Copies of this chain bind each other. A is one copy, B any other.
Amino acid sequence: MKTYDTPCKLLLTEDEMPKAWYNVKADMANKPAPLANPATMQPVTAEELSHVFCDELVKQELDDTTPYIEIPEEVRRLYCLYRPSPLMRAYRLEEKLQTPARIFFKFEGNNTSGSHKLNSAIAQVYYAKKQGLKGVTTETGAGQWGTAVSMACAFFGLKCQVYMVKCSYEQKPYRREVMRTYGAEVTPSPSMNTEAGRRILAAHPDTIGSLGCAISEAVEAAVTTPDTRYILGSVLSQVLLHQSVIGLETQAALKKYGIKPDVIIGCAGGGSNLGGLLAPFMGEQLRGEAKYRFVAVEPAACPSFTKGEFKYDFCDTGRVCPLAKMYTLGSDFMPSAIHAGGLRYHGMNPTLSQLYHDGILEARTARQLDVFKAATLFARTEGILPAPESSHAIAAAIDEATRCREEGRAENIVFGLSGTGYFDMLAYSKFNDGQMVNDD
């Protein structure tokens, strides 16, 4: 057995939890480009955004100068239900890989949403409540974001309308029931509830739905329902801000135990988990206080960073939302049916896009079969069944640890384990039966 030179879990007390979110944009010399109005291509104004989003969230979205924004006490109390999340030492994985590297992972799956999504859902629903609103609308694909929003609405007593992509609604009835248990109204999309839905159904009566369509319905429902706004779980700046709690806790725990990371790894879909983990470490580097390697891992089948273009593009396939300057595969890009649904997004958060463009962030791809091999090795050594999305980060961490073994270097590797795979067993089943292939 390897000598235990740190605890298995680098624990923080509740007193040591962050009291403010960190806004990495404040420390960037090259700020991300502003969101653009699709009609005029001019920067969107706060007034324009306030029809769709809560006022305080619009302010956060547009703020690129304030480095720290206080986490309201009510939000911190709800974070306490499942935070601080554990920063774990992967001793058994290290032993299995026979690497001199030390591997740490920040585990965000220990809450009923099964992922980091709850961090932003609680914040967004809090501001909706504070503004005196009665409800929020959102869309969900795989269901983790919808579950997180349902939970947050239950906490604050707000009405929750979730437009769930029809094929998921039918294939994942249990996800739907979790949301209903928290009191949400879940509608398969496209639906007859909205103009957008009716138009799509008229043209394609047998459609299985899409995230783009569900977004269009949720946005329409928000602007046509009194005292209601729309909320979104990734891509936006405000989401990165709320998710910085992941990185701030990681940073505090590593400092507490005197560990300086060499490389920090996250999986990349829209960027919420990656950006949240990296932000405070990026801040140190941008301020010249430290130097790290930052690694984004995306699916080979959906390579926004590594094969996309850096340009203004629509955030949604329905083209109703503002445009963002970002790495994108095109808003009509359709990835092949990889199982990491949360990473099947054509674009990338604009802040992370700018940091990648400026050479501060590395990016690489991982192939589906390699990802599930890494996931299975991780499950059998560390005991946690990881989400396919998060397993992209595991695969990269294993590659880095293997490099460390070959080079004889005892580096400190930190990766984000953003969620669990309980609702992804169909994909695991294919892998277990040897029916999964690399589809890139």
Contact = CB atoms under 8 A, between A and B. Distances in A.
A249 to B, nearest CB: 14
A433 B420 CA distance: 27
Task: Give the one of A77, A177, A178 with max B CB within 10 A.
Answer: A177
A359 interface: no
A432 B81 contact: no
A111 B82 CA distance: 14
B178 A425 contact: yes
B112 A182 contact: no
B80 A181 contact: no
A432 B379 CA distance: 33
A7 B11 CA distance: 15
Contacts of A180: 428-429, 432
Interface in A413-439: 420, 422-423, 425-426, 428-429, 432
A319 interface: no
B382 A81 contact: yes
A294 B178 CA distance: 32
Contacts of A380: 154-155, 182-183
Given A7-B13, A11-B13, A14-B8, A383 B155 contact: yes
Given A7-B14, A380-B183, A425-B173, A178 B81 contact: no
A29 interface: no
A154 B384 CA distance: 12
A174 B425 contact: yes
B177 A429 contact: yes
Interface string A1-45: 100100111010110000000000000000000000000000000
A379 B182 contact: yes
A115 interface: no
A219 interface: no
A57 interface: no
Interface in A156-193: 173-174, 177-178, 180-183
A8 B73 CA distance: 14
Contact of A80 (B9, B112, B376, B379): B9
A385 interface: yes
A168 to B, nearest CB: 14
B81 A383 contact: yes
A160 to B, nearest CB: 11
Contacts of A178: 385, 422, 425, 428
A301 interface: no
A151 interface: yes
B432 A82 contact: no
Contacts of A77: 1, 4, 8, 91
Given A14-B9, A154-B380, A173 B429 contact: yes
A195 B382 CA distance: 37
Contacts of A173: 425, 429
Contact of A428 (B1, B181, B183, B425): B181
A60 interface: no
A253 to B, nearest CB: 13
A371 B362 CA distance: 51
Contacts of A9: 14, 80
A110 interface: yes
Contact of A384 (B7, B11, B112, B426): B112
Interface string A355-389: 00000000000000000000010011111110000
Given A177-B428, A178-B385, A181-B432, 19 more contacts: A1-B74, A8-B77, A78-B383, A81-B383, A81-B384, A82-B383, A111-B383, A111-B384, A151-B383, A154-B379, A155-B380, A155-B381, A155-B383, A173-B425, A177-B425, A178-B422, A178-B425, A182-B379, A182-B380
9 contacts: A11-B11, A78-B383, A81-B92, A81-B382, A177-B429, A181-B376, A181-B385, A182-B379, A422-B423
